[in-house]
Amino acid sequence: MTNATSTPTAVTVGIAGLSIDDVVAVARHGAPVVLDPAALDEVAASREIIDGLAADPNPHYGISTGFGALATTFIAEDRRAQLQASLVRSHAAGSGAEVEREVVRALMLLRLSTLMTGRTGVRRETAETYAAILNAGITPVVREYGSLGCSGDLAPLAHCALVAMGEGDVRDATGQATDAASALAAAGITPLHLGEKEGLALINGTDGMLGMLALAITDLQMLLTTADISASMSVEGLMGTDAVFAADLQALRPQRGQAISAGNFRKLLADSPIIHSHKGPEDGRVQDAYSLRCAPIVHGAARDTVAHAISVAEAELASAVDNPVLTKDGRVESNGNFHGAPVAYVLDFLAIAAADVASMSERRTDRFLDRARNQGLPPFLAHEVGVDSGLMIAQYTAAGIVSEMKRLAVPSSVDSIPSSAMQEDHVSMGWAAARKLRRAVDGLSRVLAIEVLTAARGLALRAPLEPGAPTGAVVALTESLGAGPGPDRFLSPEIEAVAAAVASGRVAAEAASVAGRLD
């Protein structure tokens, strides 16, 4: 969602795993990937174990047997290369629209990260090929539907593995659609011929849902700061009080996220002429509406949800998710670590939090437009009441998005459809949880943008009273985007311009440039 401001530093992939920032750097900003030489040695050593087991007359799952419900079927040595290639081809069964480039890059990077743990048994050149594809900017075409989130994101990962084999469809570094063989040839990359276990190792992981979680966490951290900004603008524009954000009052309920958001409110509203214009005993209002007064509590709860999601993501980023997996003492063991439940739960939880923050934002927008509640502003903030409709329908847009976000907040992880002839009889639906969270994050950014646009117009209409310097900077930004007060005009471009400023982090940066660091 946010844009890179400089050339990203290379990300080293090794045994220790990756950080959330690493994932975003490679997936979204095109940071190059470097493979740690020591980790590559571990990869090579683990492959020797697989080669030894491949020569064993006793069957070993994924090496000399079929997969899933066919795990008891022994595969002769001369058919195992075909077994691995067939696995990838058959599992590349996605359908629907293309998945976004940043998601596919995150998917491939995280699979590469697991390969580099030395726990999967792939060959060194397999890891090197994945790194080369990422560095060449080649993006496999992955389809929207196909993953049940267990055994990992099978179909999406299979589409990536298929490209590494020189098959399937891709988009090159310019975004042009082409076939994998041509793209690899143009980049000087030799297609893989998979050995024992490699097809399985390339498709068995939570990488898609985890990549989308990392991207969503990054976006939500910025958007929750933006929500503090938009809400502060609304407190000002609706002639609210900042007294409720006092540190001693917030400390009576020591929730961590709440304290962070309240601190942002205090910074943003400090020395606001509008706030000071009605402070004191002459202000007869006892307390503001919940959407103003309780904003740090709701925003803070969302922050705490993100903090929990970060802890889950960091554990997953340090994981070697494969089945079977090579242990440090050389055993090859089947396991259930590919099940997406830990990631799926927090993806659903974040969608709930995003919907609630957006719901409160829309209520503040609505207050600005109702002359019975907006403390003397014109109805709908219209320029000429009766002739102009002002921001009436902008609120409809926000309301429609919020309604959809409430539907998106219905958990995916409580659903399960058995698959693979009942061998995989419980699945996480984590991929679906991640897909709907991406839409929810986009919706939140747009709802906040409409609040920013509305509050900025309301603050401008309070002249000669002026907002505080941080919120005033955001008002100036919206006006520079053509979104100031005035007669009715084509409104959609203004909403889109402010939405882009919110999604890119520009609104948050503008306020912070005056207020100082906002958490």
- pLDDT tens-digit profile of 319-341? 988 888 989 888 888 888 889 89
pLDDT given for residue 282 in this prediction = 67
Question: The pTM is what?
Answer: 0.95
User: Quick one: three-class SS letters along 452-476?
Assistant: HHHHHHHHHCCCCCCCCHHHHHHHH
Together in a domain, 250 and 355? yes
- pLDDT tens-digit profile of 177-188? 999 999 999 999
Together in a domain, 25 and 85? yes
Q: At 74, is the pLDDT very low, low, confident or very high (cuts 50, 70, 90)?
A: confident
Together in a domain, 178 and 243? no
Together in a domain, 160 and 226? no
pLDDT given for residue 61 in this prediction = 73
Domain end residue (candidates: 171, 205, 239):
205
- State both tokens at 326: 């090579």
Residue 4 lies in a domain: no
Tell me, what CATH number does 79's domain have?
1.10.275.10
CA distance 22 to 470: 31
Domain end residue (candidates: 153, 176, 205):
205
Tell me, what CATH number does 501's domain have?
1.20.200.10
Residue 5 lies in a domain: no
- pLDDT tens-digit profile of 108-166? 999 999 999 999 999 999 999 999 999 999 999 999 999 898 878 999 999 999 999 99
The answer to whether 434 touches 209, Cβ cutoff 8 Å, is yes
- Which residue type does 276 have? H
Together in a domain, 51 and 130? yes
φ and ψ of 162, to 5 deg: -60, -40
Average pLDDT (237-254) is 95
Residue 6 lies in a domain: no
CA distance 504 to 116: 32
Domain that holds residue 40: 11-205
Q: At 2, is the pLDDT very low, low, confident or very high (cuts 50, 70, 90)?
A: low
345 catalytic per annotation = no
Together in a domain, 392 and 260? yes
CA distances from 263 to 255, 257, 296 (A): 12, 10, 9
pLDDT given for residue 429 in this prediction = 86
Residue 2 lies in a domain: no
The answer to whether 302 touches 251, Cβ cutoff 8 Å, is no
What average pLDDT does the chain have? Answer: 93
Together in a domain, 346 and 201? no
- Name every residue whose Cβ is closer than 8 Å to that of residue 518 and which is 6 or more positions away in sequence: 225, 228, 229, 264, 267, 268, 508, 511, 512
| pLDDT at 70 exceeding the cut of 70 | no
The answer to whether 434 touches 347, Cβ cutoff 8 Å, is yes
The answer to whether 341 touches 413, Cβ cutoff 8 Å, is yes
pLDDT given for residue 399 in this prediction = 98
Residue 242 lies in a domain: yes
Q: Which range, of 130-139, 196-205, 223-232, 494-503, averages the lowest pLDDT?
A: 196-205
| pLDDT at 424 exceeding the cut of 80 | no
Q: For residue 139, list its beta bridge partners.
A: 171
Of the residues 61, 130, 345, 396, which is catalytic? 61
Residue 1 lies in a domain: no
| pLDDT at 358 exceeding the cut of 80 | yes
CA distance 231 to 242: 11
Residue 113 lies in a domain: yes
Domain end residue (candidates: 170, 205, 240):
205
CA distance 229 to 502: 11
The DSSP element (H or E) to which 27 belongs, if any, is: helix 20-27
Contacts 24+ apart (CB under 8 A), 25-28: 26/105, 26/106, 26/109, 26/134, 27/102, 27/103, 27/105, 27/106, 27/109, 27/211, 27/214, 27/215, 28/2, 28/4, 28/102, 28/105, 28/215
Total domains, the chain: 2
pLDDT given for residue 21 in this prediction = 98
pLDDT given for residue 460 in this prediction = 97
User: Which residue matches tokens 């955001």?
Assistant: 474
- State both tokens at 140: 């496999």
Identify the DSSP state of 381.
G
Together in a domain, 264 and 138? no
Together in a domain, 157 and 255? no
Q: Is the peptide bond before 464 cis (omega within 30 degrees of 0)?
A: yes
pLDDT given for residue 417 in this prediction = 81
Together in a domain, 143 and 230? no
pLDDT given for residue 189 in this prediction = 98
Q: What percent of the chain has pLDDT over 90?
A: 80
Residue 139 lies in a domain: yes
Together in a domain, 188 and 218? no
- Helix, strand, or coil here: 374? coil
| pLDDT at 5 exceeding the cut of 60 | no
Q: Which range, of 62-66, 82-86, 239-243, 491-495, averages the lowest pLDDT?
A: 62-66
Give the CA count within 13 Å in the CB-facing half-sphere of 251.
3
Together in a domain, 114 and 225? no
Average pLDDT (201-219) is 96
